Chains A and B, each alone.
Chain A
Amino acid sequence: MPKITVDGKNIECKDRTNILQACLDAGLERPYYCYHPGLSVVASCRICLCEVEGIPKLVPSCQTQVRDGMVVHFNSSKAVANQKQTMEYLLVNHPLDCPVCDQAGECLLQDYSYEYGRAQSRFEEDKAKKPKKDVGLNVLLYSDRCIMCTRCVRFTREVSGTSELYVDGRGHKEEIDIFPGKPLNNKLSGNVVDLCPVGALLDKDFLFQQRVWLLKRTPSISPVDAGGENIYLEWNDGKIYRTKPRYNSGVNKWWISDDTRYAYKAVNAPNRLRQAMKTELGMPTACSFNDAAETAVAKLKQIVVDHGQGSLYAVLSPMMPCEEAHLLGTLIRSIDPQATLVLGPVPRGDDDVFMNYLDGSETFRIQGEKVPNRRGVERVMQILGGKTVDFATFIASTSGATKAGWIAGGYLSDWIGTELPAPLKGGFKVVQDILPNELTRNADVLLPGAAWAEKAGCWENYQGAMQAFDAAVPPPEGARVEGKVFHKLLGRSGMYDAAAVRVSLGEPFVQAVLPTEVEMAGEPAFEFVEL
């Protein structure tokens, strides 16, 4: 472990790391644009230059390896002069259109101007004007704001391996561009927007939607596949505006897929279920949520009395957090100890594998299993024991033993199709879901549920990592978090608390913990200041 001194502070760093990374690891913020720990080092922005004692000229801190006993200065007169000058250079042709720029508030040009730059430019000539370009399905490029850090180009080469972006021209006429007609449409394309330290690459989805300083963020997990990508949901006034990746070295590193990025749209969908329903006199009738829930339990109890034990089933969706799956299982078994537990459908596709364009090594994999918690729900079903089947077996059965059931959905798109499978056609059904589908239309009792962004819980990803997520926004009016409903129906006291349920479940569920405030604050280069 080499020890170095940075601006008078002694820090200990990893072997073979560079000065800049050592500083960042130790919580010392130093300016940089082109450096990114997940990409190759080009040392071209030149703002991270520092003075190392014993070396006569400035050295790029991102490219210089640490040596034990190194004495580094970022605040020497030479280094400061370079920071000031580099800032001035970067702003020479920058349009300074912060009032209309989406990046304003989390822009490294703004941050470093404030911290390291000059208050005023001495540039009196005409600024170079560069065009705006539509480069991809989700991405817009404002060339004139670009500072040519080439992070995005390196990303498409080294991580997505698709190599769509390139640098056009040379010198001060350089621009980022795509080959005509070969757009940036890969499934990781949104990451270039996160990588862009300025407002050059913009997400069309977030364009002009919200000022970033109004956004608050909540740690969450990707709901779209078994990868369990770590994310932040960013929201304001109870509405989610965008998703940003959350660094996790063991899972998704710095990146997320576009499916994850835009999954929040299902949460904001206008057709979310908001009204509890029950069937009265053969007609679906709106009623209060409590009324519907109590009706459901009473009716199920009646069916067990009428048909005997083993006539109930519960569909535990792999979209459910482990806590809720456990509670629903417990609930149904408290009514009917012989009840069948069914694992909800698990749609599968092929894995999307991304390889480094330069050396062919695997960089990222989008899981083909398109639900987040199959493993977790299976684990819960194992704990609960008794009769458990998967969805395919369940719908194929013709015994007709099951007379009634509780079906939890929560999928982000239609999951049941236009024709209900036979075992779900007849009988009494309690359906808990977030979006309307054939099943909710045929439900005997309909309980509007909460999407993943609206509740806390934990999911187990394909690697067996148990990961917690928190509620970012409240469910729409009329819908309720499933966990709370089960908690109440089970007659438990106090408030429903996912973390407490995890503790009662023990290992491995207790491994799922939310990041602390400190961990979150240390992660990105920008923090939100309450004004």
Chain B
Amino acid sequence: MAFPEPVLTKRIPLNPADRKKVWYNDYVATGGYKQLRAALDMSGQDIIKTVTDSGLRGRGGAGFSAGQKWSFIPKEKKTTHYLAVNADESEPGTFKDRHLMEWDPHQMLEGIAIACLATQCDIAYVFIRGEFHHGTKVVEQAIKEAYHHGIFGNNVMGTGKKIDCYVHRGAGAYICGEETGMLEAIEGKRGWPRNKPPFPAIAGVFGRPTVINNVETLCCVPHIMERGPAWFKTMGTPSSPGPKLYGMSGHLNRPGVYEHELGITLQQSIDMAGGMKGGAFKGAICGGISMGVLAQHQLDVKLDFDDVRFRGGCLGLGTAGMIVMNEHTNMVRALRNCVRFYAHESCGQCTPCREGSAWMKKILDRIVDGYGKARDLEMLLELEKTMGSMPGTTICGLADGTAWATRTFINKYYDEFAAACPEETTKRVSLPISRGNREVATPMGSNTR
């Protein structure tokens, strides 16, 4: 396993001062759109096979095999197919897609065009979050260029194929990053995630088969087409191959977006970003705040889709947006921030997420204000297990974020939380809350803390 040179960021220098936007001419001059040309001569199935063989896993958080996702789209085309590009990057700690879109938009557009060919999509919607004013303008300009040069339109590169690509701006709702929430937003409705089945591959946006991919995933596609699945697998780990953008933020000397292969350790990633600033390492959010936190003793956890989960005790790698915190960080406040985010962004459809996250935020507000009680922690740990798509109590995975952030923060920094929540001196009559290791049934199964 080795990572000799940047792949996705090969046109974006590491030093911000050297960066220049890559417009169409620059992109073509550095070998751009050659893979689209090649893909036009391939069958859709061949493209899908190449991507499947590469083992590319979705970079949007869930890590689902991209090629497999494409293969769910009906082979026989009966109606319009859509591609929805998820550029609604709004999870705290995640800012890689913005980096790709703002500096090298054509790389994404080439990926979009190839994906459209593979899955016979007619129209691609790039769903960009509303706050990315700059990114939206850049992508819109790039699409304009692409239309002008026959990348999109009725006659893709002179072959008579038809692909359209449009920007659809979001308007400030994190839940629209959830794939079906995004589809609702494209349809002009409130972004309430849909129940599955039907899955988007069968009935997605406007009730038609829809592919949904993250920006970074699509950016990988031209490179896989160019250099083949075998090359792709030389990077990363066997289960999580390929390059990955790491969004390094927090208490670091040189925070920013760094590209490396999947599977580097947490320590390596911190070193990559210039090391800790202002104090020793205390903890790191490992992939957007929904994934949970890695503690001091977990610096050797490998950042890939599996090790973070199995050894790191987190939900997963997510988007690899790291928020690194130094020893002076107050973890209670950090958790309050995370839970406040989820309480604020809950779409309000499912009861556990709507009421539970707001309740947890109220408890944490009280703890931060200095009125914590010992049973608050037990309460939080019990509530946390009642929500999320993993126990099945919510439609989408937003509440899993609340759950995993709470679970990992409290368990890994229990002493700090306990100090903020002293034992009460006067007893109050109240229902027993699960304490200690007593087995208490929750929708997640029994309480296993």
Contacts and interface: CB of A to CB of B under 8 A. Distances in A.
Whether A and B touch (Cβ < 8 Å) is answered with: yes
Interface of A: 41-47, 49, 57-60, 63, 77-82, 85-86, 89-90, 92-93, 118-120, 122-123, 125-126, 128, 147-148, 167, 169-174
A89 to B, nearest CB: 4
Contacts, number: 118
A148 B359 contact: no
A174 B345 CA distance: 12
Interface in B350-391: 350-352, 354-359, 362-363, 366, 379, 383, 386, 389-391
A311 B125 CA distance: 82
A47 B386 CA distance: 12
A85 B395 contact: no
B386 A85 contact: yes
Contact of B351 (A59, A147, A169): A147
Contacts of A41: 195
Given A78-B443, A80-B441, A81-B443, A171 B351 contact: no
Interface in B392-423: 392-395
A77 B391 CA distance: 13
B338 to A, nearest CB: 15
19 contacts: A42-B349, A44-B349, A58-B391, A58-B392, A58-B393, A59-B392, A77-B441, A78-B391, A81-B442, A82-B391, A86-B351, A86-B393, A89-B351, A89-B386, A92-B355, A169-B348, A170-B346, A171-B347, A172-B357
B169 to A, nearest CB: 18
A118 B440 CA distance: 15
Contacts of B347: 170-171
A93 B379 CA distance: 17
Contacts of A86: 351-352, 393
Given A85-B352, A170-B173, A43 B357 contact: no
B195 A46 contact: no
Contacts of B433: 122
Contacts of A170: 173, 175, 190, 346-348
B430 interface: yes
B203 to A, nearest CB: 14
B17 interface: no
Interface string B212-243: 00000000000000000000000000000000
Tell me the interface secondary structure of chain A in the complex. loop
Contact of B395 (A44, A80, A90, A174): A44
Sorted nearest first, the 9 A-B pairs with minimum C-beta distance are A57-B392, A58-B392, A172-B358, A89-B355, A125-B362, A77-B441, A171-B346, A82-B443, A174-B348
Contact of B363 (A58, A93, A125, A173): A125
Contacts of A90: 351, 355
B359 A125 contact: yes
Interface string B422-449: 0000000011010000000111111000
A163 to B, nearest CB: 12
A172 B366 CA distance: 18
B358 A171 contact: yes
A172 B354 contact: yes
Given A43-B395, A122-B433, A171 B359 contact: no
Contacts of A128: 358
B85 interface: no
A59 B190 CA distance: 24
B344 interface: yes
Counting chain A CB atoms within 10 Å of each CB, the highest count among B362, B386, B443 belongs to B443
Contacts of A119: 431
B123 interface: no
Interface centre among A58, A82, A125 (most CB of B within 10 A): A82
B298 to A, nearest CB: 27
B299 interface: no
Nearest to B446: A77
B190 A125 contact: no
Nearest to B363: A125
A172 B348 CA distance: 6
Contact of B430 (A85, A122, A147): A122
Nearest to A81: B441
A35 to B, nearest CB: 12
Contacts of B359: 89, 92, 123, 125
Nearest to A173: B348
Nearest to A78: B443
A148 B352 contact: no
Contacts of B346: 170-172
A81 B445 CA distance: 9
B245 interface: no
Contacts of B395: 43-44
Nearest to A85: B386
Contact of B393 (A46, A122, A172): A46
* Most chain A beta carbons < 10 A, residue from B173, B394, B441, B444: B441
A308 B167 CA distance: 90
B195 A57 contact: no
B332 to A, nearest CB: 17
Contact of A46 (B175, B348, B394): B394
A171 B363 contact: no
Given A82-B393, A89-B356, 16 more contacts: A47-B351, A49-B443, A58-B392, A78-B441, A78-B443, A78-B444, A86-B393, A89-B354, A119-B431, A120-B431, A169-B348, A171-B343, A171-B344, A171-B354, A172-B348, A173-B348
A151 B282 CA distance: 48
A167 B189 CA distance: 11
Given A63-B195, A172-B357, A49 B392 contact: yes
A57 B349 CA distance: 19
B362 A45 contact: no
> Which among A78, A80, A123, A170 has the highest number of chain B CB atoms within 10 Å?
A170
A118 B430 CA distance: 12
A120 B433 CA distance: 12
A128 B347 CA distance: 17
Name the residue in B355, B358, B389 with the highest tally of chain A Cβ atoms < 10 Å from its Cβ. Answer: B355
Contact of A167 (B345, B348, B366, B389): B348
A118 B431 contact: yes
A339 B446 CA distance: 83
A514 to B, nearest CB: 39
Contacts of A125: 359, 362-363, 366
B23 to A, nearest CB: 38
Contacts of B389: 57
B260 to A, nearest CB: 34
Contacts of A63: 195
B324 to A, nearest CB: 29
Most buried by B among A60, A89, A120: A89
